[in-house]
A and B are shown apart, each in its own frame.
Chain A
Amino acid sequence: MHTSLTATARLILFSLYVISMLSTTATAESSSIVEAGGTQRTRRPIVTGTSVLGIKYRDGVMLASDTLCSYGTMAKYKDARRLVPVNPVTLVGGGGEYSDFQEVTALLKRNALEDKCTADSLYEEDNSVECAKEVWNYLRAVMYNRRNKMNPLWNDLVVAGFHIEGATKVPFLGLVDKIGTSYEDNVVATGFGSYLALPILREKWRPDLEEGEARALMEDCLRVLFYRDCRALNRIQIAKATSDGVLVSEPYEIDTSWDAASFVSPKGGLEGDGGW
């Protein structure tokens, strides 16, 4: 059993593994290695989702992502759902390894079911349902613990919903990454979105954004990501959490623009200064 190894033995095994990884060629790479005790650890992500965006607006919190999961450079699964309602008041969105994301959402849904079945009453939802902040804290613990065992869930997760503060419901938006870093903010983004979309979201954010404005802003950001991220798609999903509950839209395509004059006429001709 793995747990019977001492800390030193585990360190030696790990160093041996690292040394052997350094000397193997790319063709021999595997996504997980099986160790002496029959356990495995995730080495590199295989099927991956790209950015997830989150924004707080007037009525609650909105998440957005595209519906693509890539297999390396290949756009393999074009209808992958990366925004999932895990309980009646919480949404989770995930980028990174899709199998790990499915594991996380299954775990959270299992917890929600258990909470519902062990509640004091089957009819009263408010006390038994985990609010978004509780889910976020729980995920931080899960991700950090996996990271400590050198077997991370290879995801960047966005948690959106409401949490109860005193007597009021307050919108909540937070992020947990694969090593257990967690933070909350008015706007969050994972992956390429953190480089390309976050500056746009921060520029345009106001606390009283209407739903239509927030959605248009998300679509703009996802359009930029489709232009500039090799692993993005123009088929997207939007999800919102309001005080009435949680809603995930059906996927739809966003339009793109390719007809600017300088796009159409090629530059690298025979004439000219030889520039491209």
Chain B
Amino acid sequence: MAVTYGEGVDSGVIVGADSRTSTGSYVANRVSDKLTPVHDSIYCCRSGSTADTQAVADYVRHFLAQHAITLDSKPQVKTAAYLFQKLVYNNKDRMSASIICAGWDPVNGGSVYCVPLGGACVQQDFAIGGSGSTYIYGLMDASYRVGMSKAECIDFVKKTISHAMARDGSSGGVIRLAAIDKTGVERFFVGGNDLPFTPQ
């Protein structure tokens, strides 16, 4: 999931994800990293087929790097999202990739774009995706507020991902977070024993 916070150029985003990659009922990787950088201050949250999302992210990383050179500045998050959209939309019958593209750029500040299965591209204040997201729509709708501070956002993301991991069999492991703003990227790790919510 990804959440924006703050105003204007001081705004930023928090991206977060669980760490479980499953093949049917088997956990192929219990500590995977689903938060992928496609540029210095632009990340994507990958869900769906791991092979498809890794391939798409690699392509976007390649094109964005070239684009940044010709632009001679940081590319906009909107551009990255547009590249994701192009790839997912034109290959929609061959792929299963659902991506949230989020980051910070000097023009728009922090922004979040959702590129779901069919290849639409929708900008949102916050976005959730993946199989576990169905369990936290209610929690999100009830607790998200516009204008949260960075610390509040981080707690919010940790809490909601915990709740999703508690109920979804295809989600689990540890929580990986990244806070992206004008100063750069800060990564966090919440181990499987330190989850804010484990209902037992």
Near A by CB (< 8 A), chain B positions 168-194 give 168-170, 172-174, 176, 187, 189, 191-193
Distance in Å from the Cβ of B195 to the closest Cβ of chain A? 10
Which of B29-37, B91-99, B119-127 faces chain A? B29-37
Q: Which residue in B131, B166, B192 is a CB contact (below 8 Å) of A258?
A: B192
Count of chain B residues near A, Cβ 8 A: 35
Q: If the complex has contacts A258-B174, A266-B187, A270-B61, are A228 and B30 also in contact, measured as CB distance less than 8 A?
A: yes
Q: How far is the CB of B192 from chain A (nearest CB, A)?
A: 4
Is A231 positioned at the interface, with any CB of B under 8 Å from its CB? Answer: yes
Contact A75 B168 (CB under 8 A): yes
Q: Is A204 an interface position by the 8 A CB rule? A: no
Residues of chain A within 8 A (CB-CB) of B27 are 227-230
Q: Is A78 engaged at the interface, CB distance under 8 Å to the other chain?
A: yes
| Chain B residues whose CB sits within 8 angstroms of the CB of A259 once the complex forms | 191
Q: Number of A interface residues, CB 8 Å?
A: 29
Interface-centre pick from B26, B131, B187 (highest chain A CB count, 10 A): B26
Query: Which residues from B are CB-within-8-Å of A235?
Result: 200
Majority DSSP secondary structure for residues of A touching B: loop
**Cβ contact within 8 Å between A75 and B31:** no
How close is A273's CB to chain B, nearest CB, in angstroms? 12
From residue 15 to 72 of chain B, which have CB atoms closer than 8 A to chain A?
Answer: 20, 22, 24-27, 30-31, 33, 35-37, 39-40, 54, 58, 61
How many Å lie between the Cα of A171 and that of B176 in the bound state? Answer: 48
Q: When A228-B30, A229-B27, A230-B20 are in contact, do A263 and B174 touch as well, CB less than 8 Å?
A: yes
Can you name the residue of chain A whose Cβ is closest to the Cβ of B178? A266
Q: Using Cβ atoms and an 8 Å threshold, which residues of chain B touch A192?
A: 25-26
Interface centre among A227, A253, A259, A266 (most CB of B within 10 A): A266
- Give the residues in chain A near B200, CB-CB below 8 Å: 78, 235, 253
**Structural contact, A73 and B170, CB atoms closer than 8 A:** yes
Give chain A residues whose Cβ lies under 8 Å from the Cβ of B58. Answer: 274
Give the docked Cα–Cα distance between A231 and B192 (Å).
16
A236 to B15, CA, bound (A): 33
A267 in contact with B25 (CB, 8 Å): no
| Cross-chain contact B20 with A258 (CB below 8 angstroms) | no
Chain A nearest CB: distance from B176 CB in Å? 7
- Given A256-B192, A276-B54, CB of A230 within 8 Å of CB of B26: yes
A72 to B36, CA, bound (A): 29
* Chain B contacts for A75, CB-based, 8 A: 166-169
Does the CB pair A231–B169 fall under 8 Å?
yes
- B199 within 8 A of partner (CB): yes
- With A231-B25, A258-B174 already in contact, the answer to whether A266 and B35 are too (CB < 8 A) is yes
Q: Which residues of B are in contact with A by a Cβ distance under 8 Å? A: 20, 22, 24-27, 30-31, 33, 35-37, 39-40, 54, 58, 61, 131, 135, 166-170, 172-174, 176, 187, 189, 191-193, 199-200
Additional pairs, 13, CB under 8 Å, beyond known A74-B169, A258-B31: A72-B169, A74-B167, A74-B168, A75-B167, A75-B169, A78-B199, A230-B24, A230-B169, A266-B35, A266-B187, A267-B33, A269-B37, A276-B54
